[in-house]
Amino acid sequence: RPRVFSGIQPTADSFHLGNYLGAVRHWVALQDTHDAFYCVVDLHAITAGHDPALLRQRTRVAAAQLFAVGLDPERSTLFVQSQVPEHPQLAWVLGCITGFGEASRMTQFKDKSQKQGNERASVGLFTYPVLQAADILLYQANAVPVGEDQRQHLELSRDLAQRFNSLFGATFTVPAPHIVKDTAKITDLQDPTAKMSKSSSSPAGIIDLLEDPARSAKKIRSAVTDTGREIVFDAETKPGVSNLLTIHSALSGRSIDELVAAFAGRGYGDLKKELAEVVTDFVRPIQERTRTYLDDPAQLDKLLAAGAEKARAVASATLRSAYERVGFFPPV
Ligand code: AQP
């Protein structure tokens, strides 16, 4: 079976709909067709400053949500990145074949470092995509399901795999992005031309999976919509309405065309009201299951430790051959 790898950061108290629809939803689907490795990337989560106790708590909440949305520990491997030390061990080597200029061109680094101020942005934030490449390459993943915003990082992972292979001999599978067009980008409810993002959207622009559905309903009611009154899908001229239709369609399973037909002659208010109901019905059971996992943290940690053990079996074999090819001494 083809191998799939993806990761998500534990940097918020909840995933938002962008994370879920752009990435995590596909993780669940792929576990039926792929040998799936999924990771809560806590090493990445410390690149922009953090609180230790909060990080540990958010790592558990992230894992609980992933199990709650349908990741099955029998069918896929879910683990916490810091429990698999091969990730930073490979990242060092990849960092040594990454050009400084090449890393400087990553738009996510440029955006985030600009926001933080260049003096405050960490070296870890700069090398973030190199660690991400190590994550992916350790598992010899063929496919990497991520949102559109991660395309450039994935391109770097491909380049590094090819570069390493040609410098030192065939070692890594060259991964391909698995970006599902329909929901590749969920936008901010208050600024529908920008992506829904925990670090740059205002709270009113984000719908969190674990927030009170009444709060989500309120945000949907005050979502920015477009001029005109017609409910049609056109991401260019009607980004606000199109985003609401995208979310509705993804959660309800009804096609955009079907929704546009159903809302013909009706107003934005009707769409928002119905979307709030769809979101509520969707998140309620997820919230309940997440709570159940969090109520038994010892059991949750056990599931994750088992995942880390499975992950290490694959990661250590890849690291060993990479280190050997680079010319390092054998492990003692
Ligand atoms: N708005 C989005 N639409 C589609 N996909 C999205 N992803 C994130 N936002 C959207 C996808 O979610 C996955 C998890 O990525 P992450 O852990 O790196 O989260 P993130 O990108 O840090 O999430 P944010 O909210 O976008 O955080 P900031 O603001 O810090 O960058 C990835 O596959 C991502 O593509």
Spacing, Cα 332 to ligand 1 middle (Å): 39
Residue 153's nearest CA partner among 169, 177, 183 is 177
Q: How far is the CA of 112 from the centre of ligand 1 (A)?
A: 13
C-alpha triplet 76, 19, 218: angle, nearest 5°: 135
Per-residue pLDDT of the chain (332 residues; tens, 9 = 90+): 999 999 999 999 999 999 999 999 999 999 999 999 999 999 999 999 899 999 999 999 999 999 999 999 999 999 999 999 999 999 999 999 999 999 999 999 999 999 888 888 999 999 999 999 999 999 999 999 888 889 999 999 999 999 999 999 999 999 988 877 777 789 999 999 999 999 888 999 999 999 999 999 999 999 999 888 899 999 999 999 999 999 999 999 999 999 999 999 999 999 999 999 999 999 999 999 999 999 999 999 999 999 999 999 999 999 999 999 999 999 88
Which of 110, 115, 181, 198 is flagged as catalytic? Answer: 198
Buried b (16+ CB within 10 A) or exposed e, 210-228: bbebeebbebbeebbbbee
- Tokens 């909440």 appear where? 61
Q: Is residue 208 within 8 Å of residue 14, measured between CB atoms?
A: yes
Catalytic residue among 115, 181, 195, 238: 195
Q: Is the CB of 145 under 6 A from ligand 1?
A: no
Altogether, the residues listed in the chain come to a count of 332
C-beta of 197 in contact with ligand 1 (< 6 A): yes
Distances (CA, A) of 2 to 5, 34, 37, 157, 320: 10, 5, 11, 18, 22
Query: Looking at the DSSP assignment, which residues form a beta bridge with residue 265?
Result: none
Direct distance between the N- and C-terminal alpha carbons of the chain, in angstroms, rounded to an integer: 33
Q: Binding residue per annotation — 199?
A: yes
* 238 classed as catalytic: no
Asked if residue 135 belongs to a known ligand binding site, the reply is yes
Tell me which of 6, 9, 16, 19 to substitute to probe ligand 1's pocket, judged by most ligand atoms within 8 Å of the beta carbon: 19
Say whether 197 counts as a known binding-site residue.
Answer: yes
Cα gap 197→175, rounded to integer Å: 25
Q: What angle do CA 285, 271, 226 make, to 5 degrees?
A: 125
Q: And the tokens for 86?
A: 């091969």
Flag whether 207 is marked binding. no
Residue nearest to atom 13 of ligand 1 (CA): 19
Rounded to two decimals, the ipTM of the complex is 0.94
- By the 10 Å C-beta count (0-12 exposed, 13-18 middle, 19+ buried), 129 is classed as buried
